[in-house]
C-alpha cells in the first residue's frame, strides 16, 4: 500500500468516525433525562412552558407547575414523553446573543455548575461579567425567561421586597454575579444568603420567578 493510499484510507476512517460521533450527539440531544428533573423547564404538547416540580417521573407521569393567564401558579401532571426539554432542541451555538441561560461550564482548568450566564456574542458566553466560555465549553440547563408578566418593581432594596420575590427570581447590580432565589435562600456560585443580608442594596430584578413568594406559600 502506497502512502497516498494509506492517507486516503485514514481520511475515510476519520470521515466515518465523524459521522458516528454526530449520530451519537444527535441521540444524546434527543434523549429525555430521567432524573435530576426538579426545577427544570420543559415545553408541553400545547406549547406551554412548564416547570418540573418532582425529581423523576412515576408511571410515565410527572408533576409540573405553570402560570395561568391571571398570574396565579397552577399544578398539573403531564405525560413525561410529551414534554420537550430545551437542551433537546437547542445547542449553545444555536442560542442567539442576548439570551440568558442557566448553564454548566468547563474549560478544562475551571468548571462551574448551575450558573446564570449571558450569550454576549457568537460563540461566547459570560458569567458574572468575569468568566467567559465558548459554546463548546457550555452545557445548557434551562433558559432564564420570565415565567409570567413582570409585575414587580424594576428594583428591590428592602428585606420585604426581596422576600416578596417568588422562587426562581434573579436579581443583580452592575458588576455583581446574579443572585437566584431558591427555597428559603438566595444563591450564587459558591455562596448563599437571605433577604436580610441582601437588604439595603439596590438590585435590578432580571427575572421574575415561577413560584409563590414565602409570604404567600
- Digit-coded pLDDT (tens) for 178-198: 888 877 788 876 678 899 999
Q: How confident is the model over 99-134, as pLDDT tens digits?
A: 778 888 998 888 888 788 878 778 888 876 568 889
| DSSP H stretches of helix in 135-212 | 159-164, 195-198
User: Is residue 217's pLDDT more than 50?
Assistant: no
User: Is residue 85's pLDDT more than 80?
Assistant: no
Q: Is the pTM of this model over 0.95?
A: no
Share of the chain above pLDDT 70, in %: 76
Looking at the DSSP assignment, which residues form a beta bridge with residue 191? Answer: 188
Q: Could you tell me if 198 and 185 are in contact, meaning their C-beta atoms sit under 8 angstroms apart?
A: no
Amino acid at each position: 500500500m502506497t502512502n497516498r493510499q494509506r492517507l486516503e484510507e485514514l481520511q475515510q476512517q476519520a470521515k466515518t468516525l465523524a459521522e458516528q460521533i454526530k449520530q451519537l450527539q444527535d441521540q444524546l440531544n434527543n434523549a429525555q433525562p430521567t432524573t435530576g428533573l426538579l426545577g427544570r423547564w420543559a415545553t408541553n404538547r400545547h406549547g406551554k412552558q412548564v416547570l418540573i416540580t418532582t425529581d423523576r417521573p412515576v408511571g410515565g407521569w410527572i408533576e409540573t407547575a405553570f402560570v395561568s393567564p391571571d398570574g396565579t401558579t397552577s399544578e398539573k401532571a403531564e405525560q413525561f414523553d410529551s414534554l420537550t426539554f430545551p437542551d433537546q432542541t437547542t445547542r449553545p451555538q444555536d442560542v442567539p446573543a442576548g439570551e440568558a441561560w442557566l448553564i454548566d461550564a468547563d474549560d478544562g482548568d475551571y468548571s462551574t455548575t448551575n450558573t446564570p450566564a449571558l450569550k454576549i456574542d457568537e460563540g461566547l458566553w459570560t458569567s458574572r461579567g468575569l468568566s467567559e466560555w465558548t459554546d463548546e465549553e457550555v452545557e445548557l440547563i434551562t433558559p432564564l425567561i420570565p415565567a409570567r408578566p413582570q409585575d414587580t418593581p424594576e428594583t428591590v432594596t428592602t428585606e420585604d421586597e426581596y422576600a416578596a420575590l417568588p422562587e426562581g427570581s434573579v436579581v443583580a447590580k452592575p458588576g455583581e454575579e446574579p443572585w437566584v432565589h431558591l427555597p428559603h435562600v438566595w444563591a450564587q456560585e459558591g455562596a448563599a444568603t437571605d433577604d436580610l443580608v441582601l437588604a439595603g442594596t439596590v438590585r435590578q430584578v432580571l427575572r421574575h420567578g415561577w413560584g409563590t413568594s414565602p409570604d404567600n406559600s
